[in-house]
Amino acid sequence: MHELSLAISLLDLLEERACLDAFERVQKIILEVGELSGVSIPALRQGFEVATKGTIAEGAEMDILEPPGTGWCFTCEQTVAIKDPFRTCPGCGKSAVTPTGGLEFRVVELVVS
Q: How many domains does the chain have?
A: 1
pLDDT of residue 1: 56
pLDDT tens digit sequence for 41-51: 999 999 999 99
Cα torsion for 29, 34, 38, 44, to the nearest 10°? 20
Confidence band for 57, pLDDT divided at 50, 70 and 90 = very high
pTM of the prediction? Answer: 0.89
Cβ atoms within 10 A of the Cβ of 12, count?
A: 11
Q: Which domain holds residue 74?
A: 2-112
Q: Where residue 48 sits, what CATH number does that domain have?
A: 3.30.2320.80
> Which residues sit opposite 30 in a β-bridge?
63, 109
